Amino acid sequence: MRPAPLVPQLSNVRDLPRRALAAGGGHVREICGSWGARNQLEWVFQIVELRGANGLLTLPPDSAHSIAGIGGPQVEVGPGLSTGLRKERVLAYSGSHIEFRRPRLRAAELSRIAVLSVAGTGATPSLVFADLHGSVTLEEGRVRAVVVRSGRVRVGGETAGALDALVLPTATELVAEAEDARVLLLVG
């Protein structure tokens, strides 16, 4: 589990450690998360990269999940009757696992999906897509992470481009300088 840093921490999603999905073709990469008392999960933010026609991700039990399409071919989210997940769409989900299916498999292109799992009843973070231009204030304790889809975002001396993730300190208000950036924000 990667805790909140003291300064902005830049990572390229492709460089983060990965672990295989429970079944199917692909893997998952953890961006950040938070553990509470007695090492209990509070929340975890991950990126799933689906390579094959299907995949299975096991999730923390008794948690609520937000699933967001980041890029690549559309996936269906199940189990059972599935819902289509397109780019820049966020779905609420509950369950101990998610089945991903790509109805029309395209050549080697990955489908990238963000998954936020939140346990308990405390403050619940959420996923929000946004366009950032120019100077933008990131409120103290409100924006926890930024995943850049396109453009550039500079925060605290770190510059993030496409598929970069910035994990932000929670105890500091920061100013971001953005160049026509489309981002996924982890807020709350």
pLDDT tens string, the chain, 188 residues long: the values are 455 556 788 999 999 999 999 998 899 999 998 877 777 778 899 999 998 888 999 987 788 889 999 988 888 888 776 788 888 899 988 888 889 998 766 556 889 999 999 886 666 788 999 999 999 998 777 888 999 999 999 998 899 999 999 998 876 788 899 999 999 999 98
**Do 20 and 106 reside in the same domain of the chain?**
yes
Task: Indicate the residue among 65, 99, 119 that finishes a domain.
Answer: 119
Q: Residue 17: is the preceding peptide bond cis (ω within 30°)? A: no
**Do 69 and 152 reside in the same domain of the chain?**
no
Q: How far apart are CA 188 and CA 186, in angstroms?
A: 7
Q: What local confidence, expressed as pLDDT, does residue 113 receive?
A: 95
176 domain residue, yes or no: yes
| Residue 188 contacts residue 22 (beta carbons within 8 Å) | no
4 domain residue, yes or no: no
Q: Looking at residue 65, which CATH number applies to its domain?
A: 2.60.120.10
Provide the domain limits for residue 28: 15-119
**Do 86 and 159 reside in the same domain of the chain?**
no
**Do 26 and 95 reside in the same domain of the chain?**
yes
41 domain residue, yes or no: yes
Q: What local confidence, expressed as pLDDT, does residue 72 receive?
A: 86
Burial 23-33 (b: 16+ CB within 10 A, else e): ebbbbbbbbbb
DSSP state of 162: T
Task: Indicate the residue among 104, 119, 134 that finishes a domain.
Answer: 119
**Do 104 and 160 reside in the same domain of the chain?**
no
**Do 19 and 84 reside in the same domain of the chain?**
yes
Q: What local confidence, expressed as pLDDT, does residue 103 receive?
A: 75
